[in-house]
């Protein structure tokens, strides 16, 4: 039994029992206080009736409104409705107590109360409108808690509907309190009704030297091929406007869920740019031919990736180009294993897109998850020391991974023998970073760094110094 129920029930039983003991309880109390037996009895019965009214109001609110009705209708009844019903029960109970127990003429009280309520309502008309709007919002299907709505200039999910305000929770987790009195005059758009479908559009301006048929075909195929986008119906592609810089094309599409509009737009733009790059199509930005913007090709992407990988920081621009030419791309889906623990695969793997992870034992012998994101790599010991991979690495998202194999490294070292010294120094510095062996001022002990570098030089010369002759790509 709930604590509030227990207290009210005990108090009601005690007062009811005392009201029955008119001779043994009421009489002595009247004698001590100097009041008449009738007056004391009225007050005891009045207290009993008041606690009984409060108990009935609470039971009606919690067990009937928020219990039986919610179970029968399978809906969540707002607390506002329960509070109003409880107030009505208490008002009726109060009137009955005044009329039946204290023998008061409540007609005058009701008239006076009605007049006072009218004056109070006029003084608090904004609050009354807000209250009425709050009740209306709870009963109508305009929106309910959990719906994504746009009220005036505000967009968010309905978090709560109170007596005075409707609370919206935005995508950035900001709580916006909108007075109900403003909602009564505002334009309300429920983005979840009749369903969560939403129509979106993206505009591209393409050069005049690309035929309309080609542009439509490429944009349509790219939109349909966007990864992860759930379309309600096939998209529409059409030429919308002729401008000084090119033809403006619009892609219109309908997705199943309004909440996915940003991720869907990202996926479609990414797919369109990839298809335009393959088709060698340029985007217009001005009237002159030199204003045309060419979509960057994969080789340029790969060059920038190699440039940002720590292992290749000390290499020259020419080396970056040749390293990029030696990398082999692999695509992995979430959950795919990139490399197994104990596998003999003499290669490092560089993350270009997405994320991968592996379970490792840290310096304190705790098992931790190590994640790899774009420009990070793993498999140093496998490539440079020709040892098995120490842990299983799994893709945690759609991932593009580039592999630099033993044969590719042999070709690079044959062309650039100085890479042995470069890689050895970089590996020594990375080893210092991971072992946290730097001095407090951030400098590194040169003698220790040279020692570790010499170890890596010897390792590389032993494994690759007498590498067999291999043919180029």
Domain boundary assignment for the chain = 3-123, 141-190, 198-294, 300-464
Of the candidates 189, 200, 205, the one whose C-alpha atom is nearest the C-alpha of residue 249 is 205
Q: Please check whether residue 438 is in contact with residue 452, taking contact to mean a CB–CB distance below 8 angstroms.
A: no
- H or E element: which one contains 6? helix 3-20
Sequential DSSP letters for 99-161: IIIS---HHHHHHHHHHHHHHHHHHTHHHHHHHHHHHHHHHSSS--TT-EEEETTEEEEEEEE
Q: Within 10 A of 166 (CB to CB), how many other CB atoms are there?
A: 27
pLDDT of 175 = 92
The alpha carbon of 17 is separated from its chain's Cα centroid by a whole number of angstroms, namely 58
How many separate helices (H) and strands (E) can be counted in the chain?
16, 18
| Assigned fold of 300-464 | Jelly Rolls (2.60.120)
pLDDT of residue 395: 92
Topology, domain 141-190 = SH3 type barrels. (2.30.30)
User: What's the confidence (pLDDT) of residue 388?
Assistant: 93
Residues 6+ apart with CB under 8 A from 88: none
pLDDT confidence of residue 319:
93
CA dihedral (83, 85, 89, 91) in degrees, to 10, reads 70
Predicted TM-score (pTM) above 0.75: no
149: which strand partners?
Answer: 156, 190
Q: Which two tokens stand for residue 303?
A: 């060059």
**CA dist 238 → 224, 248, 264, 277, 435 (Å):** 15, 9, 19, 20, 58
User: How far is it, in rounded angstroms, from Cα 122 to Cα 144?
Assistant: 29
SS3 content of the chain, % helix, strand, coil (to 5): 50, 20, 30
CATH topology of domain 198-294: Alpha-Beta Plaits (3.30.70)
> In terms of Cα–Cα distance, which of 464, 421, 403, 406 is closest to 315?
421
pLDDT values of the chain reduced to their tens digit, one per residue, 473 residues: 455 667 778 888 888 877 777 666 777 777 777 777 778 878 888 888 888 898 888 888 888 877 877 777 555 666 767 777 888 888 888 888 888 887 777 776 666 666 666 665 565 566 566 666 666 666 666 788 888 888 988 989 888 877 678 899 988 888 999 887 788 778 888 887 777 788 899 998 888 878 888 888 888 888 988 888 999 888 999 999 988 888 899 999 999 888 888 899 999 998 888 888 777 776 655 555 555 555 555 566 788 889 889 999 899 999 999 999 999 999 999 899 999 999 999 999 999 888 899 988 766 777 888 889 888 999 999 999 999 998 999 998 888 899 999 999 999 999 999 999 999 999 988 887 766 544 455 555 667 788 888 888 888 888 887 544 444 44
Measured CA to CA, the distance from residue 59 to residue 66 in angstroms comes to: 10
């Amino acid at each position: 039994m709930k604590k509030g129920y227990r207290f009210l029930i005990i108090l009601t039983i005690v007062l009811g029992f005392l009201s029955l003991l008119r001779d043994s309880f009421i009489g002595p109390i009247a004698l001590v206080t100097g009041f008449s037996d009738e007056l004391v009895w009225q007050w005891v019965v009045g207290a009993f009736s008041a606690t009984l009214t409060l108990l009935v109001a609470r039971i009606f609110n919690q067990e009937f409104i928020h219990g039986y009705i919610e179970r029968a209708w399978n809906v969540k009844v707002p607390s506002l409705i329960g509070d109003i019903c409880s107030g009505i029960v208490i008002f009726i109970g109060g009137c009955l107590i005044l009329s039946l127990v204290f023998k008061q003429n409540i007609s005058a009280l009701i008239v006076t109360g009605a007049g006072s309520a009218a004056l109070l309502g006029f003084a608090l008309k904004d609050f009354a409108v807000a209250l009425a709007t709050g009740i209306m919002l709870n009963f109508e299907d305009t929106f309910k808690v959990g719906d994504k709505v746009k009220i005036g200039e505000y967009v968010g999910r309905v978090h709560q509907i109170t007596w005075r305000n409707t609370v919206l929770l935005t995508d950035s987790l900001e709580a916006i309190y909108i007075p109900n009195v403003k909602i009564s005059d505002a334009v309300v758009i429920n983005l979840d009704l009749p369903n969560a479908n939403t129509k979106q559009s993206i505009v591209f301006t393409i050069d005049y030297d690309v035929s309309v048929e080609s542009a439509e075909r490429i944009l349509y195929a790219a939109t349909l091929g966007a990864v992860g986008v759930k379309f309600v119906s096939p998209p529409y592609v059409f030429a919308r406007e002729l401008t000084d810089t090119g033809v403006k094309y619009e892609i219109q599409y309908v997705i199943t869920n309004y909440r996915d509009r940003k991720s869907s737009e990202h996926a479609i733009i990414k797919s369109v740019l990839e298809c335009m790059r393959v088709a060698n199509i340029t985007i217009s930005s001005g009237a002159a031919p030199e204003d045309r913007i060419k979509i960057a090709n994969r080789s340029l992407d790969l060059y920038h990736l190699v440039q940002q990988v720590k292992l290749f920081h000390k290499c020259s621009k020419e080396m970056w180009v040749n390293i990029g030419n030696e990398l082999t791309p692999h695509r992995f889906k979430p959950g795919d294993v990139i490399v197994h623990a104990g596998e003999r695969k003499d290669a490092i793997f560089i993350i270009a897109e997405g994320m991968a992870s592996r379970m490792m034992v840290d310096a304190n012998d705790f098992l931790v998850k190590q994640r790899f994101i774009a420009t990070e790599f793993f498999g140093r010991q496998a490539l440079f020391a020709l040892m098995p991979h120490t842990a299983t690495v799994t893709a945690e998202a759609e991932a593009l991974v580039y592999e630099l194999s033993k044969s590719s490294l042999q070709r690079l070292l044959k062309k650039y023998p100085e890479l042995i010294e470069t890689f050895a120094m970089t590996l020594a510095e990375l080893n210092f970073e991971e072992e946290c062996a730097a001095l407090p001022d951030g400098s590194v002990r040169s003698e220790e760094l040279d020692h570790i570098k010499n170890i890596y030089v010897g390792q590389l010369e032993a494994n690759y110094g007498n590498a067999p002759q291999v043919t180029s790509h």
